[in-house]
Amino acid sequence: MEEIVHDFFPFMRVYKDGRIVRLMGEGFVPPESDPETGVQIKDVEIDPQINLSARLYLPKNVDSVQKIPLFVYFHGGGFVIESASSPSYHKHISKVAAEAKVVIVSVNYRLAPEYLLPIAYEDSWLALKWVASHIANGDGDEPWLKDHADFNRVYLGGDSAGGNIAHHIAIRVGLEKLDGMKLEGIFLACPFFWGKDPIDGEGENLGSKDVIEKLWLFVNPNSSGLDDPLINPEKDPKLCSLGCDKVLVYVAGKDTLRFRGFYYKEVLEKSGWPGTVEIVEVKDEAHVFYLSATEAENAMAMIKKLASFLNQS
């Protein structure tokens, strides 16, 4: 029997001979228009040299000169699985584009362990800079962005590890700025945050801490641990620099990470950041519930709430 050196079942396994076997998130949906929603879809290369790409979504009935909000999305998967072209994300993001009537750039950042952190963060920042290259007088040549993206109404979002990425990219926007782009808000669904010391509600989940710490040090072996600011926002002295005015956080009632979602709201409000945070808890649902049941009532309610958030003036 082959020896497993890293076992993250049901997501992936790494064997002694170096083989990496992803057990889920490997499906691929071609970038074809969604017949159900009428959303147009295509894949674009951002930097072919590092295999950085994105999947773009344009809702139907957008006229040739109409500017609509831009939503840059980072998929989840613990930094190790999934992609912008996997069936669950393809379906979910299509529904968001149709309901919210926004242009969406779903980023295909590189995954660990082949590309350890901070590569996912750096890829995501490069992707946002590529998006910003389409602002007036920029050198970007993607027509969906040049013709339809309103760069005064930009949002970032993501779920699980992607929510973690969206948060950190928003902080970088606050610190470094992108001329001509206004980041209005960020959407974090079941965000992947943790910490060394348990917070209220986590006392009975010590096993979860062990799993999360093992995964975190696997994808980021140079990390200081669970109080690294990359996974514990409370320990980040730059938290107050979050570069937007509003945040919407979704947590699931059966998700171990839900306590960290509530705690994120608490520490962000105490940091000196001047914006507003809203948190929504969906009872009796598990982690990233909207991906496994895209048509379910709670999933559709979340999409409608997100659509409203993305169209606030």
Give me the catalytic one of 34, 228, 236, 255: 255
68-74: strand order across its sheet: 40-47, 52-58, 103-108, 68-74, 149-159, 183-189, 246-252, 276-282
Give me the catalytic one of 75, 92, 148, 287: 287
Q: What is the tens place of the pLDDT at every residue in 3-47?
A: 999 999 999 999 999 999 999 999 999 999 989 999 999 999 999
Write the CATH number for 265: 3.40.50.1820
62, pLDDT greater than 70 = yes
| Residue 63 pLDDT level (bands cut at 50, 70, 90) | confident
255 is catalytic: yes
Residue 206's pLDDT is 64
2, pLDDT greater than 90 = no
> Which residue is listed with tokens 């079941």?
190
Which tops the pLDDT comparison, 313 or 273? Answer: 273
- Rounded to whole angstroms, the Cα distance separating 208 from 148 reads 43
203, pLDDT greater than 80 = no
Give me the catalytic one of 34, 160, 228, 236: 160
123 is catalytic: no
Name residue 247's beta-bridge partners: 186, 277
204, pLDDT greater than 70 = no
Residue 172's pLDDT is 98
286, pLDDT greater than 90 = yes
Q: What is the tens place of the pLDDT at every residue in 206-244?
A: 678 899 999 999 999 999 999 999 999 999 999 999 999
Residue 202's pLDDT is 84
In the chain, how many domains are there? Answer: 1
Residue 65's pLDDT is 79
Question: What's the mean pLDDT in 148-169?
Answer: 98
- The tally of CA atoms less than 13 A away on the side-chain side of residue 243 is 20
287 is catalytic: yes
| Residue 137 pLDDT level (bands cut at 50, 70, 90) | confident
Question: What's the mean pLDDT in 76-104?
Answer: 97
**Residue 157 lies in domain:** 4-311
**Which value, in Å, is the radius of gyration of the alpha carbons in the chain?**
19
| Residue 252 pLDDT level (bands cut at 50, 70, 90) | very high
